[in-house]
Structure 1
C-alpha cells in the first residue's frame, strides 16, 4: 500500500501548505476561489459521468443507493463525526465539514483511485497512485487555503477507502471486469456533479447518502455485464 501511504502524506503536506496561505488570503478572495472550485468540480463530474455506457444501470443504482444511504443516514453520521472532530481540535472554521467531504469525494471517486488501487493490489508498481498523489497534493493546497483544516482530515477516509480497494484488488483483482471500473467512474462523476452543485450553493444535495450507489452499480454490472 505504498501508493496509498504516499497519497495520504501528499494530502497532509499540501493541506498544511494551504493552511499557511489561508491566513494571508483576504476574506473577499475566498468567495471567488470557492466558486472556481465549484465550477471545476462540476466539469470534473460531467467529464467522468459521460464515460458511462450503461445508463439504465446507472439510474437504478443511483436511486436504490440513495434510498439505502438515506435509510442509513450516512450524511448525518458523517456530519456528526465531523462536528465532534471540529470541536475536539478547537476549530472555528464554518467550512470544516464541507472541506472534509469535498476533499474526500474529489480524492476518492475518480477512475485513478480504482485503477491505481487495482494496479498496486495486483502486485504492479503503483505508478497511477503516485501520479494521483502529486495531483492530490497540489489540489489540497488550494482546497485547504479556501476551506480550512477539514481538508487535512480527509486523509483519514482516503486511507481507509483507497487502502481498502487495494486490499480487495489483492484478493479479487483478477476477477473484476474492466467494464465495472468504467461504470463506477460514471456513477462517481454524477456524485461529483452533485457535490459541485452543493459547493456553489445552488442547492444542498446529500451526496454522502448517495454513496451506496457505487456498491449497487458494481453488483449490477457484475451480474448483468
Structure 2
C-alpha cells in the first residue's frame, strides 16, 4: 500500500498531539527551555540540509522567486486564516494559540527532505522506512509543540497527509517521464531549499526572527523547475559541444 507511510506519519502526529494535551502541568520555564531546545535542533537540521545543495545558486534563485510569489498570494496569511477559523470553531480561550500551533507545526512537519524522499520511496519502491522514521520524530515533536502551543498542532496532520500523499501518488507514475539523474538532482536541491526554510523556522521558534516562512514555500516549485532547466541544458550542451 503506497500511502501506508503517510498514514502512519499522520497518525503519529495526532497521537503525539493528544499526549501533549496532558502535558500541561509542566512549569513554564521547562516548556520554554524545551521549545528553545527544539528551536536549536530545528535550526541545526536546517543548516545541515541547506549545506547538501550542490548548486546553491538554484537555492538562492528559488527562494527569491518563491518569496516574491508567496508574498503576492500571501500564503502565510492564508494559513493563518485557516488556523483562526479552527480557533473560532474550537472556542479557544487564548487568541492566536491554535493558529500559531497549526502554522508552526505544519511548516515543521511538511517542509523537509524526509517528507519528499520518504513519499518518493513509498511511491516508487513501496519502501516506507523513511516515513516511519519521520513519524517517530514528528510524533515526539507534536507532543512538545502541543504542550506549548495547544491543540492547533493536531490539525497539522491534515496538510502533512495531503502533501505527502500527493507526492506518493505522483511518484507511482513519475518514473515514466522523469529521468533518474534529474530526479536525484531535484531531491538534492529541494533538500537545500527546504533546509533554508527549516533554519528560518528554527530561528522563529527561538524568537530571534519573524520570518514569513510560509511565503517561501513556492520556492520548492521553482527549485524543481530550475533544476529541470539546468539538467536539460547540460544535456543539450553535451550533445552539441559548440553551444
> What TM-score comes out, normalization by structure 2 length?
0.87
- RMSD of aligned alpha carbons: 1.5
1:156 to 155, 158, 176: 158
Residues 161-219 of structure 1: CA deviation (Å, up to 9, x unaligned):
11111111112145252111011011001011111122122221110000000000111
- Does the CA-based 8 Å contact 2:86-2:99 persist in structure 1? no
Query: Does residue 1:190 correspond to 2:192, yes or no?
Result: no
Deviates more, 1:126-135 or 1:93-102: 93-102
> Which residue in the other structure is 2:186 paired with?
180
- Consecutive unaligned residues in structure 1, runs of 5 or more: none
- Does the CA-based 8 Å contact 1:109-1:185 persist in structure 2? no
Larger Rg: 2
2:205 to 182, 199, 206: 199
> Which residue in the other structure is 2:107 paired with?
105
1:10 to 12, 25, 30: 12
Query: Does residue 1:69 correspond to 2:92, yes or no?
Result: no
- Does the CA-based 8 Å contact 1:41-1:193 persist in structure 2? yes
> What TM-score comes out, normalization by structure 1 length?
0.94
Report the Cα distance in structure 1 between the residues aligned to 2:58 and 2:32, rounded to whole angstroms. 37
- 5 Å-filtered alignment, 1:1-225, equals 1-22=3-24, 24-93=25-94, 94-173=96-175, 175=178, 177-225=183-231
**How many correspondences in the alignment?**
224
TM-fit CA distance, 1:113 = 1.3
- Does the CA-based 8 Å contact 1:19-1:145 persist in structure 2? yes
